[in-house]
Chain A
Amino acid sequence: MTKTPRILEVRANVLKDNDRLARSMRLRFAQAGTLVLNLVSSPGSGKTTLLRQTLLELSPRYRVAALVGDLATDNDARRLAESGAPVRQIETKTLCHLEARMIEEHLQGWDLSQIDLLFIENVGNLVCPSSWDLGEDLRVALFSTTEGEDKPLKYPTLINTADIALITKIDLAEAVEFDRQAMYRNLREVRPGIEILEVSAKRGTGMAAWLERLEHALQTKRSQR
């Protein structure tokens, strides 16, 4: 005779510890007036180049800082430090994503009230970072023109958590026969209404609009304090 199992109802979010920490950090960022961006993309989409240029161009007017996630090596942090901004590397070892606790740990010793914009460069991966809230204000998903237009359809989950889609290496669009219309259509198919920007960090195309977007977000955040 099979016994009916005894079932206890439970309601628990699996990532509640991460979410709780992310919420408390979001509060800290709000109190300090720091705008936080989480940059996600596949490896090689140009996150570091974009971030380096962004730090360079913002640093005369704003206090900027960056945390950079990678499985191993601190190459990216060293590249970014050339901009003069404070940069810290987060080596995740085997993890393919950043978690809120890693952000908290690596912020130790930094005075948030002295940082206007904090950039978090997530591990290059279009799947794993989706589920982890880092306390950011904006999640920006980067797609390079060289990756092809169907990337959004292959990775709908991550795009669905993004606030802005940033199409990078736009200077190569013609050379790789990038189909802009298809890209926009695919992005909006999986994330209706998503804001889309185009940049080339190398040539400077679209950088003004990107920087303006960041400044606008910072002002909005501060006006809500």
Chain B
Amino acid sequence: MHELSIATNIVSVAQEEAAARGVEVEAVHLRLGALAGVEVDSLLFGYQVASQGTPLEGSRLLIEEVPLTIYCPNCQAEFELAGIQSLRCPKCQELSGDIRRGKELEIVALEVKEQP
């Protein structure tokens, strides 16, 4: 299960960002692409394990799932796909490997405790 490795990275990057800003983290907002190869439930579990004994213990991981989006050169438009098994334009049925979104694995925000 590589989700634990990913979770460990999330904790350390979030901690780094929080320390640089001098804040305490209540929640980490993560953007996760459909093609990032990460399973949400395993990641949530991994986050609990990885954050134990760190300043992030007890904080929440909030995941925004990003669907796979391709650009179809034929239709000259972007299309959001329902799955990741077929990179085919839903309009003209042509294949397109021009991926525009869906590989994200990034921390986009930190929810922090109010300073007294």
**Chain A residues engaging chain B, CB cutoff 8 angstroms:** 3, 5-18, 95-97, 99, 127-128, 130-131, 153, 156-158, 160, 188-193
The A/B interface has a contact count, at CB < 8 Å, of 105
Whether A8 pairs with B85 at a CB distance below 8 angstroms is no
- For residue B84, which residues in chain A have a CB less than 8 angstroms away from its CB? 156-157, 160, 190
Query: Once the chains are docked, how many angstroms separate the CA of A3 from the CA of B116?
Result: 14
Whether B107 pairs with A10 at a CB distance below 8 angstroms is yes
Contact residues of A: prevailing secondary structure: mixed
Whether B96 pairs with A15 at a CB distance below 8 angstroms is no
B86: CB under 8 A from chain A? yes
**Chain B residues engaging chain A, CB cutoff 8 angstroms:** 1-2, 5-6, 9-10, 12-14, 16-17, 21, 23, 26-27, 29-30, 35-38, 84-88, 95-97, 99, 105-114
With both beta carbons as reference points, the residue of chain A lying nearest to B115 in the complex is identified as A6
Which are the 7 A-B pairs with shortest beta-carbon distances?
A157-B37, A128-B2, A192-B97, A192-B95, A130-B37, A5-B111, A12-B107
Residue picked from A14, A99, A189, A190, most chain B C-beta under 10 Å: A14
- For residue A130, which residues in chain B have a CB less than 8 angstroms away from its CB? 37
Query: Contact check: which of B14, B23, B36, B109 meets A9 at CB < 8 Å?
Result: B109
With both beta carbons as reference points, the residue of chain B lying nearest to A126 in the complex is identified as B37
Query: Once the chains are docked, how many angstroms separate the CA of A85 from the CA of B108?
Result: 45
- For residue A12, which residues in chain B have a CB less than 8 angstroms away from its CB? 13-14, 16-17, 106-107
Query: Once the chains are docked, how many angstroms separate the CA of A99 from the CA of B14?
Result: 20
With both beta carbons as reference points, the residue of chain B lying nearest to A95 in the complex is identified as B5
Whether B6 pairs with A191 at a CB distance below 8 angstroms is no
Smallest Cβ distance from B51 to chain A, in angstroms? 14
Smallest Cβ distance from A5 to chain B, in angstroms? 5
6 chain-A/chain-B pairs, Cβ below 8 angstroms: A6-B114, A7-B111, A9-B108, A157-B35, A157-B36, A191-B87
Whether B114 pairs with A14 at a CB distance below 8 angstroms is no
- For residue A96, which residues in chain B have a CB less than 8 angstroms away from its CB? 1-2
- For residue B10, which residues in chain A have a CB less than 8 angstroms away from its CB? 14
Query: Contact check: which of A8, A131, A160 meets B110 at CB < 8 Å?
Result: A8
